[in-house]
Amino acid sequence: MTIPLLDNEVLRTFVAISECGTFTGAAKLVHRTPSALSMQIKQLEQNLGKCLFIREPRQVRLTAEGEALLDYSRRLLRLNEEAVQYFLSPTLEGKVGIGTSDDVGTRILPEVLAQFARSYPAVLVNVVVGSSKQNLARLDAGELDLALVTVADEVRDIRGEVVYEEPLIWVGREDGSAFLRTPLPVAVAHEGCSWRRMTLRVLDSAAKPYRIAYTCEHCSGQEAAMVADLAVASFPKSLVRPPLKEIVNQGLPEIGSYQLALVRKGSNELNDALALHVREAFRNLQKS
């Protein structure tokens, strides 16, 4: 039995429809008619023997099989782009340095570096983990070429390009009681951290009694304090995992969202290439 192959153009159509929620919206993105897209999807469903969309009067929704194909489609399209880029992009050599915080370093950078290394195997990437303040200083001193820095939501004059935004939520141990104590014990980073500034600002505005029970430069230290039920902390939603959980309906003030900005020192082929991979990684994270 010959297994049918998946066509990249059809996968692009499928992803566009999934993200837009309508054939009409997707048709504008891929510059084809809605009827042409409908025929493509019908043929794709016949080839796979599965229904991919639930058709409703004004929108379409993915079935369970459609959700599975969406993940495969994004990976296949990315791999296709990497393969083409490998052969068509000019060969780059040299060294590029990027600064990041520890949470981004463990969540995002592994995928970025893996893809970048496949595209530009002759480039040495130097990763420096530190606070946003430290990495901006290294950037200005010429020790780094790029830096991913955390920006609080109240900052209006943002240095660099915002590549990601995520809400901060209150987090504590699943079976813990730190959130019930008065004053509220809080784990925060050192002075200058945007998360710290946002957290203390909303507590002060809400007149919520608190005490700083634990400080650490890295979020792994804050996580340890929460796991030990010594304190609660404001954390990005994507970082919460057992034995930690979001604290809801306990009278704690809403914190807001933080942004990550990509700050660059000048522009050249190496910087541009790595910046492109960083942007793409965050775009994919935002979609998931």
Q: What DSSP line would sit under 20-32, residue for residue? A: HSSHHHHHHHHTS
pLDDT band at 102 (very low <50, low <70, confident <90, very high): confident
Count CA within 13 A, CB hemisphere, residue 38. Answer: 9
Count CA within 13 A, CB hemisphere, residue 178. Answer: 27
The count of other CB atoms within 10 Å of the CB of residue 253 is 15
Amino acid identity of residue 241, one-letter, is: R
At 288 the pLDDT is 63
145-159, 188-202, 273-287: least confident range: 145-159
pTM for this predicted structure: 0.65
Alpha-carbon distance of 205 to 106, in angstroms, equals 33
Superfamily for the 94-164+260-287 domain: Periplasmic binding protein-like II (3.40.190.10)
The mean per-residue pLDDT over the stretch 66-83 comes to 90
Q: Which CATH class name applies to 8-88?
A: mainly alpha
- Percent of the chain predicted with pLDDT > 70: 95
CATH hierarchy code of domain 167-257: 3.40.190.10
- Please say if the pLDDT value at position 126 is more than 90: yes
User: Nearest to residue 37, comparing CAs of 148, 171, 45?
Assistant: 45
| Average pLDDT of every residue of the chain | 89
Alpha-carbon distance of 104 to 146, in angstroms, equals 14
Q: How far is CA 34 from CA 17, 54, 192, in A?
A: 10, 16, 51
At 159 the pLDDT is 80
Using the 8-state DSSP alphabet, how is residue 232 labeled?
Answer: B
User: Nearest to residue 206, comparing CAs of 257, 255, 151, 166?
Assistant: 255
> b/e map of 113-143 (b: 16 or more CB within 10 Å)?
bebbeebbeebebeebbbbbebbbebbeeee
**Sign of torsion over alpha carbons 127, 128, 129, 133:** negative
At 156 the pLDDT is 56
The mean per-residue pLDDT over the stretch 230-257 comes to 93
Count CA within 13 A, CB hemisphere, residue 185. Answer: 18
Most confident of 106-110, 138-142, 149-153: 138-142
The mean per-residue pLDDT over the stretch 243-248 comes to 96
**β-pairing verdict for 244-246 and 161-173:** antiparallel
Which residues in the chain are classed under CATH 3.40.190.10?
94-164+260-287, 167-257
The mean per-residue pLDDT over the stretch 113-141 comes to 89
Q: How far is CA 159 from CA 126, 151, 155, 262, in A?
A: 22, 9, 10, 8
The mean per-residue pLDDT over the stretch 132-160 comes to 84
Q: How far is CA 119 from CA 81, 184, 270, in A?
A: 10, 49, 12
14-28, 83-97, 188-202: least confident range: 83-97
Q: pLDDT tens digits for 187-239?
A: 998 887 888 999 999 999 999 999 999 998 778 889 999 999 999 999 988 88
Which residues in the chain are classed under CATH 1.10.10.10?
8-88
Q: 270 Cβ partners below 8 Å, 6+ apart?
A: 92, 94, 95, 96, 123, 145
Alpha-carbon distance of 132 to 64, in angstroms, equals 40
